[in-house]
Amino acid sequence: MRKKLVGMLVAISMIAAGMSGCKSSEKVKETSQNKNESSVETADKTTESISGNTADIDMEMVLMIENPEIPVTSDVVKKVQEKFPDIQFVSKTWDQSQIEKSVKTAFAAGEAVDIVQYWPNQMKNFTTSDMALDLTPYLDSDQNWKNTWVEGALEVGVFDRKNVAVPFGTVYPLLQVNTELLKKAGVEIKDQWTWDELVDACEKIKQNTDVFPLGVKADNACWFVRNGLMQCWDNQDELDKFNAGEISFTDSRVKEVFDKIKGLYDKSYLYPGEGAVSATQDQITAAFAQGQVAMFANTNNQCGIAKEAANGAFDVEIISWPNMGKEDMNYLLGGSDGFFITANTKYPDKAVEVLKYLTSTEILQMYADTGNVVPVKGIESADPDYELYGVDAAKVYPTEPIGISPEMFDYIVYNTPSNYLFYGDTCLNELEALREAAVGK
């Protein structure tokens, strides 16, 4: 298989779109020792420092970077706490479906979620309300920090000539496959399949083994839809028009994309069969590691976790995301993980100090060691497949229809393909209504 990293620098400046998610209630987790109440709910109190000594700490910051599905983020929070003992940190759990609402609700109440993990290319969701701190003067005044990133990487977080977010990882979808199960099923492993070849592989696995062909967590199910909507057009001009809201969601090619994806669920190719639309990352990772799922529709930044879970029980190979359309329309959705500081932080200069540490090689090496492709200099990885996790970065397309409006973003990311599975064409009609409301007929 491929062992050459290509296009990462190109993709960083092209990156678009966020990860997907399913709705759940906001969860709050305190990671400062013996602290039980969120600073969003209480203020200016005597607390216990992380060293265990009681102290009056006037400076308190809220972090929203800790994701329970990515264990390294908890380690990162601990490192930050150790680095800045003069700050009382409150760590709020990063919940993909609630993050925007949580930050905006706190902001409206005059409270700050000081440092937030978010997708730099989607910062319009915050910049239109002036909720993000302009990092430009800080970057310009510290060239060593600014030069941490590879060339072009910082451009993804620039809006209205202001750098409002900084990236720390490149994210796009791919397939991790259990080579033993695929060979047993008589499936030919290729660098990339067409959509029809993927369906054929699923059918062979279903017929010739006793495992599920494919697994995808609910949060990432919309990536089937979003990639299909990139690849189904006759040419790039049509793709750009669709992403700009100039082509209807009732177009026959859009419906064909949804029908093809629905077929995967109708044929019970997806783990665990009934209930596949609500499968969690932990469930899919465990099933893949235990040989119950032959192919893991994963993101490149979590490949290391899945591979580690398999613990050498079988060989794992990387296959590019299948192409649903023409060969020259072989684009991918993708995103750039990053951080921003909210504009209402009480301590902007100190928050920037923390942000510098979060984007240091010391911290980002921790992310790289779990498979994240990080766009900064001086990063190495012992994982022999690390380069493969970035090999398709140049395919990432800079726009998607989720950019038409915040409402369109929410519907596609959080309600597809499930709404189409349950309600059919009603889903497309609702998407069309959102398109018309945003750009007109």
Q: Please check the confidence at residue 39 and state whether its pLDDT lies above 60.
A: no
Name the helix (H) or strand (E) containing 429.
helix 425-439
Q: Which of the given ranges, 145-149, 212-216, 280-284, has the highest pLDDT on average? A: 212-216
Average pLDDT over residues 56-69: 86
Mean pLDDT of the chain: 85
Q: Please check the confidence at residue 22 and state whether its pLDDT lies above 60.
A: no
Backbone angles phi, psi at 428, to 5 degrees: -65, -35
Burial (Cβ within 10 Å: 0-12, 13-18, ≥19) of residue 227: buried
Alpha helices in 316-392 (DSSP H): 348-358, 361-368
Question: What pLDDT is attached to residue 3?
Answer: 36
Q: Please check the confidence at residue 27 and state whether its pLDDT lies above 70.
A: no
The C-alpha angle 333, 65, 76, rounded to 5 degrees, equals 115
Question: What pLDDT is attached to residue 239?
Answer: 97
Beta bridge partners of residue 178, listed in sequence order: 316
CA 140 vs CA 144, 156, 352: distances in Å: 9, 16, 13
Residue with tokens 């203020």: 43
Q: Which of 95-104, 276-285, 382-391, 393-402 has the lowest mean pLDDT?
A: 382-391
Q: Which of the given ranges, 37-51, 164-178, 375-389, has the highest pLDDT on average? A: 164-178
Which has more pLDDT, 386 or 109? 109
Name the helix (H) or strand (E) containing 316.
strand 316-323
Question: What pLDDT is attached to residue 12?
Answer: 36
Q: Please check the confidence at residue 120 and state whether its pLDDT lies above 80.
A: yes
Asked if residues 335 and 19 have their Cβ atoms less than 8 Å apart, the reply is yes
In single-letter form, the type of residue at position 431 comes to: L
Q: Please check the confidence at residue 34 and state whether its pLDDT lies above 70.
A: no
Compute the half-sphere exposure of residue 168: CA atoms within 13 Å on the CB side of its CA: 24
> How far, in Å, CA of 184 to CA of 198, rounded?
16
Q: Please check the confidence at residue 287 and state whether its pLDDT lies above 80.
A: yes
Residue with tokens 């759940």: 24
Q: Which of 38-52, 165-179, 203-217, 291-305 has the lowest mean pLDDT?
A: 38-52
Angle, in degrees to the nearest 10, between helices 252-266 and 222-231: 140
> How far, in Å, CA of 408 to CA of 226, rounded?
12
Q: Please check the confidence at residue 421 and state whether its pLDDT lies above 90.
A: yes
Average pLDDT over residues 305-314: 90
pTM of the complete model: 0.69
> How far, in Å, CA of 260 to CA of 23, rounded?
24
Pairing of strands 335-341, 166-171: antiparallel
Q: What tens digit of pLDDT does each residue of 339-366 get?
A: 999 999 999 999 999 999 999 999 999 9
Average pLDDT over residues 416-430: 97
Question: What pLDDT is attached to residue 140?
Answer: 97
Residue with tokens 């973003």: 409
Task: Give the burial string for 177-209 (b: 16+ CB within 10 Å, else e).
Answer: bbeebbeebebeeeebbebeebbebbebbbeeb
Percent of the chain past pLDDT 70, that is, above it, reads: 87
Q: Please check the confidence at residue 78 and state whether its pLDDT lies above 80.
A: yes
DSSP per position, 74-99 = HHHHHHHHHH-TTSEEEEEE--TTTH
In single-letter form, the type of residue at position 226 comes to: R
Residue among 203, 202, 205, 179 nearest 190 (CA) = 179
Average pLDDT over residues 190-217: 97
> How far, in Å, CA of 18 to CA of 6, rounded?
22
Asked if residues 168 and 358 have their Cβ atoms less than 8 Å apart, the reply is yes
Two tokens, residue 372: 């994240």
Question: What pLDDT is attached to residue 31?
Answer: 39
Q: Please check the confidence at residue 419 and state whether its pLDDT lies above 60.
A: yes
Burial (Cβ within 10 Å: 0-12, 13-18, ≥19) of residue 405: middle
Question: What pLDDT is attached to residue 433?
Answer: 97
Average pLDDT over residues 57-82: 92
In single-letter form, the type of residue at position 91 comes to: S
Structure letter (DSSP) for residue 190: -
DSSP per position, 31-76 = -STT--S-TTT--S--EE-TTS-EE----EEEEEEE-TTSTHHHHH
> How far, in Å, CA of 250 to CA of 255, rounded?
7
Q: Please check the confidence at residue 54 and state whether its pLDDT lies above 50.
A: no
The confidence band for 374, taking pLDDT boundaries of 50, 70 and 90, is: confident
Question: What pLDDT is attached to residue 259?
Answer: 98
The confidence band for 57, taking pLDDT boundaries of 50, 70 and 90, is: low
Residue among 324, 330, 302 nearest 225 (CA) = 324
Q: What tens digit of pLDDT does each residue of 87-113 get?
A: 999 999 998 878 889 999 999 999 999
DSSP per position, 194-259 = EHHHHHHHHHHHHHHSSSEEEE--GGGTHHHHHHHHHHSSSSHHHHHHHHTT-S-TTSHHHHHHHH
- Which domains does the chain show, CATH number per domain? 8-171+335-393 (3.40.190.10), 173-331+404-439 (3.40.190.10)
Helix, strand, or coil (residue 394): helix
